[in-house]
Amino acid sequence: MKRGHMVVGHPTYDDSGLYSHLTGVPKALLPGTRGKKILDFWWEIVNMRQLFSDVYMVTNADKYKHYERWATANDFPIENVVNDGSTTLEDCLGAVADLELVIRSRKLQDDIMVIAGDMLCEDLNFDIAQVIRFFRSKPGELVIYYELEESEKTSSRGIVEVCPDTHRITQFLEKPVEGRTPSRLATVVFYCIQRGTLSYITDYLNLPPHANDRGFGRFWEWLINEKQVDVFGMKLPTGFQLIGQVGLSDYTKWLTHYSTKQQNNPAKAVTYRSYARVGLMGNPSDGFNGKTIALSISNFWAEVSLVESQTLVLLPHPLNDPTEFGSLQDLFCISRKEGYLGGLRLLQATCKKFYQFCSKQGIALTKQNFTLKYDTNIPRQVGLAGSSAIVSATLKCLMKFYNITDNDLPKPIRANFILMVETEELFITAGLQDRVVQVYEGLIYMNFSKELMDKQGYGNYVSMDMRKLPQFWLAYLSDPSDSGSIHSNIRQRWLSGEPLVVEAMKTFADLTDQARAAILDKDWSCLAQLMDKNFELRRSVYTDGCLGPGNMKMVHLARLFGSAAKLPGSGGAVVGLCLDQAKLVMFNCDIYPCRREL
């Protein structure tokens, strides 16, 4: 981006007498949030020589002196304040003609950014460099949009319909009547235009004149809908109000609204939990286009807290990320039992992937720093999804902090995101099941068939009624091995088409469908038998040596007491269903399904 351009609004008029002290003040020089003038904020945003070679500002003749004085006080080049010669609203050129005037008079031949200088913004900290990077990654123009608040009407804004995959704007509607489009994505005067498209501005102005045709809304409507020029959209997760389009009383209303929202959102901690997962049926076929049933349990959880701070800080956990030891023997014992990899890497990988995801999806994040810390009581390395719980809880905090909605990151995609953090960033062997359950919570039936995964990128996930579930029990090893190792070489054998493995994964899926029917029918005897079959099928494919003596012993002990048992995850724990209540007392280790919703 070599050129920047700012279009400022017209003077303020007081039609009520309540704001006489602001009469005649150009709207861009009205007070904004946090005590700054609206234009001060935008000048701080674009006053970056590494991003822009020049910044221009255009205004009318009537208020030119106001902006000349402002330029002198704020180290803005006076020669870059462009006077369009108009003195009244009746003879004003219009925003598009003002832009053309700057391009023509300054002989601009580079990509440009256009921003309305009288635009009130809810959040003052978004990253304009991220906007430019996204613009450069797309083969077309860029329009910034945001999601309307409930009180805002689509008829007051230019509304865009955006392809969620390509981010291309498929239709632009200037102030459509209510109900014409389901979209509530509103554009603001914040654009990036390629040098090759600048000639369209002149072409547009040469069309037969109409009184309302010189605003940017009609220009983009013409460029996108009629000329079919590729224009892409980027979302800013914040609110905007173009003061040039509202009266003074509306300006004070929005200023109060935005200021109040900032005052009511001090640097307080955002805290979320994600719960351990227990696989009831079908695992480990989730990584092999199979089907599974699993539930989240409230016995164990990971909790992550985020609070705004001056710098970005990731706090190590005193137990899980030790840096001090009592002795060399203490280090040896802790490392042998707990391994070398704590939760800090999970926080860092999630933050890195979150920024990457938002940049790719066209979501410009605010420039806010934070401190992250975590805690967890999920037993480590026993296959209860402890790692993904930390990632999931971290993602919830980041979404809340940056105002990322379910529309920006839908639940099925959220589960994919969590999996990618672990597999792509940390090379953890894993499937989708755990992440789906931790995103949706409760008892979930999951179908990961190849057809579904290829078609939509995720499976079919169905929440089931868990109020009538029988009592399950859970046991786990006190000194487990890394749960990822139990996956052995199964994936390579499956990818090579080994019949034993391929057929086993299909059978896991069949068992899952039978278990779903048993749960719906409340046939717990059938469910117990299916749990045993699930384990025996897994045993036949993975072998006893791969499952390990600890897992085999737990299942053997459970069956001695007449209980069905299987591995709820990758190894290190077993989940059981004992229908004999007298024998169930001997276990004394129930699990409690988690019914919370996000």
**pLDDT bucket at 260, cuts 50 / 70 / 90:** low
Q: pLDDT tens digits, residue range 291-311?
A: 999 999 999 999 999 999 999
Cis amide prior to 237 (ω within 30 degrees): no
Identify the weakest region by mean pLDDT among 60-74, 90-104, 118-132, 451-465.
Answer: 118-132
Q: What is the pLDDT of residue 7?
A: 38
Residue 467, C-beta contacts closer than 8 angstroms, at least 6 positions apart: none
Q: What percent of the chain has pLDDT over 70?
A: 86
Task: Give dist(CA 24, CA 22) in Å, integer.
Answer: 6
Residue 17 confidence (pLDDT): 52
DSSP state letter for 386 = H
- Pull the structure tokens for residue 180: 């014409």
Judged against a pLDDT cut of 90, whether residue 312 lies above it is answered with yes
CA distances from 364 to 356, 361, 394, 408 (A): 11, 9, 19, 12
Instruction: Give residue 159's pLDDT.
Output: 95
- pLDDT single digits (tens) 278-289: 999 999 999 999
Cα 443 from Cα 298, distance rounded (Å)? 12
Of 40, 98, 375, 434, the catalytic one is: 434
Would you place residue 195 in the very low, low, confident or very high pLDDT band (cuts 50, 70, 90)?
A: very high
Give the residue-averaged pLDDT of 441-445.
Answer: 97
Residue 434 annotated to the active site: yes
Strands 573-577 and 472-476: antiparallel
Computed over every residue of the chain, the mean pLDDT equals 86
Least confident of 157-166, 182-191, 333-342, 384-393: 333-342
Question: Which residue in the block uniquely carries the two structure tokens 């391994």?
Answer: 339
Interatomic CA distance for residues 541 and 500, integer angstroms: 7
The reported pLDDT for the residue numbered 391 is 98
Among 570, 514, 562, CA closest to 542 = 570
Dist. CA 440–CA 593, nearest whole Å: 13
What is the arithmetic mean of pLDDT over 393-421? 95
Band of pLDDT at residue 38, cut at 50, 70 and 90: confident
What is the structure's pLDDT at 27? Answer: 80
Measured CA to CA, the distance from residue 459 to residue 491 in angstroms comes to 19
For residue 94, what pLDDT band results from cuts at 50, 70 and 90? confident
Phi/psi of residue 446, nearest 5 degrees: -130, 130
Least confident of 39-53, 258-272, 290-304: 258-272
Decide which of 582 and 234 is more confident. 234
User: So what's the pLDDT on residue 3?
Assistant: 43
- Give residue-wise pLDDT tens across range 51-90: 888 999 999 998 899 999 999 999 999 999 999 998 877 7
Q: Is 374 left (phi over 0), alpha (psi -120 to 50) or beta?
A: beta
Lowest mean pLDDT of 44-48, 116-120, 505-509, 585-589, name the range.
Answer: 585-589
Lowest mean pLDDT among 170-174, 204-208, 244-248, 572-576: 244-248
The C-alpha atoms of residue 181 and residue 173 are separated, in whole angstroms, by 9
Which segment, 15-19, 34-38, 212-216, 570-574, is predicted with the most confidence on average?
A: 570-574
Separation of alpha carbons 314 and 321, rounded Å: 11
Encoded amino acid at 273, one letter: R
pLDDT digits (tens, 9 = 90+) for 454-492: 999 999 999 999 888 999 999 999 877 544 445 568 889
Residue 11 has pLDDT above 70, yes or no: no
Structure tokens at 26: 């150009």
